[in-house]
Chain A
Amino acid sequence: MFAYYLDMALRSLGRSRALTALMIAAVALGIGTCMVTLTVLHVVSGDPLPERSSSLYLPRIDPRDDSTASASTAMPAQVTWLDGNNLLRAGRARQQALMLGGQVAIEPDDGDVESFIATARYTSMGFFDLFGVPFLHGTGWSAADDESRARVAVISSALDERLFHGGNGIGRTVRVGGVPLRVIGVLAPWRPVPHFYDLGMGHFAGGEDVYLPLSTARAALLPRGGGIECWGKGSTTEDLMETAECTWLQFWVRLDSAADVAAYERFLDGYVHEQFSAGRFRRNRPAELTGLMAYLDERHVVPGDLRLQVWLAFGFLVVCLANTVGLMLAKFMRRGMDIGVRRALGASRGSVFAQLLTEAGIIGLAGGLVGLLLALAGLALVRTRPDHYAQLARLDLSMLAITFALSITATLLAGLFPAWRASRLPPGMQLKSQ
């Protein structure tokens, strides 16, 4: 029966080519724009680390004095050197890391090659395990390396490619900001989107090129980047940052169960209370423990323009569908005669309805196909945009499925009313009136 409906639908669509093309074009345009904007939104609002984002937390304490805390009431997302190290040493979470970003000059040994700027992360050894960063060769460094300010580095595969032509640079030397570091690990490509662990470096910054121990970086006073907030006496010189009244480091922990979270919260509160009693904190503001995804929400990582575009695209789709409903209505009603004959020959209302809906479904399928092509073209266009996130806009399998589901559902819905109206036409009237 379905094959018969399909055949009839194709014949009928073929009879009025212009109208069919118009309907397919309208559906395709609506679907195409929706998919482009949805894909971009999907990319930027995604989960940076799907396997473990639910167990990563940002401990937040407020060491500021009254004068500045009134100006910005949100809890700081970064920590001071002292607090960061206290929490790191306490080691109360399953895994933890204290870190800082920066941009460094990489000076190739090759005299002919110009120096270039690379992004760096200075961190305690826990970083790689904490975020599950994949290694291609070698490993990260040890706690002893952190302690001894060892001159070691882990580099990205891209930097390995650029410096050592992909020849696995382990054991070789890379000069970072004038400091020679021995390469002990090469990472597999890794790019969490958004760059959740340090939004101050740019919400959609890529993974860093070089990773080295925080202690080593601070000993060499390598350039610091990212956000910084100071109060009281603030900072005076770079080598006194360790005692300055500024928050400038990121501290993340991994907590697996609700019990662990509760225990860590108690520990943090205890820490704040202790610092308050000792007179170091001037306000006894309760500590907070923010989950990764909640933190991304709080910081409004998804650009407002993008959300606006998604709404716009859906508005556009609705107009396109209203258009299709109108055209389908016209098309089906014009076939009153056919329908009358079929009804008179014994077709039930249900079968007329099913047949017309098949026709709508075919338009949906074709609209989805053309829409998919439009979406691919649109995304290629988006990727030429300058925004950091734009380069990531690619259609994945789930979005592909959504494209067709959306297209067919939308057109079937659009076809419901016209098909119902047409199937209600009294057969006698149609035959007589002409």
Chain B
Amino acid sequence: MTVLLSAKNLSVRFGGVLAVNRVSFEVRRGEVLTLIGPNGAGKTTVFNLISRIYSPTAGALEFEGRRLDDVAPHEIATLGIARTFQNIELFEHATVLQNLLIGRHIRRRTSAWSEFLFMPSVREAERDARRKVEELIDLLELQHYRDSLVAGLPYGVRKVVELARALATEPKLLLLDEPSSGLNVEETEDMAFWIEDIRRDLGITILMVEHDMALVSKVSDRVVAMSQGEVLAVGTPAQVQANPAVIEAYLGTAGDLSSLRRPKTGVPA
């Protein structure tokens, strides 16, 4: 049970707002860990800290034992961390295939000079990249959209393309930001299967942010509940859902709940 990513007392402050406050958790190799919490809890901010879009004002992040303090944003992918974005950050004016091929960028073996001349080594590298990307297209059933420009695609397909692009980097850790938001029931079921496949067949550890509690319970090994930038509880999905602090953050106190029940006349409560 090795620890792949660990956050220790992670904090980040934006002006006067403490978006993330002494957050600590561990992601174990091979597991699916989900961050849940109401909006504004700081879940995506944690992701942005891991991707090095922001720098923490206190605390530390470690990946495979190595601290991430001075890693530049573009070096995160080479370390083996890939992510999807909440609001989809695809390359709109490129085709799906080109988007996925860009995902292979860190596996590039050719230099710009050899690319100018398109030496045979470059052609071979292009064929290789294409083969790898086609495997992902098969896995996620994107064949129909291969040559379509992303700009014209429906939302559900774009989410899948974003997932495929992240997988194309062959990461060790995959950060999924709300993978099922905007998807219908059938698409969400597909997503659940894919997450299982990714974990089992591709051996990738997954850290996700999710609101759909059914999906969370089905897929996650452990859950971290956050609220107002702090960690409320860590445990299995069942444990966390039963945790009183979590219930209070989501629904209000138990007392409030009973006052919402309409009294039935003549029937004992």
A in complex with B: no
Give A residues with C-beta under 8 Å from B. none
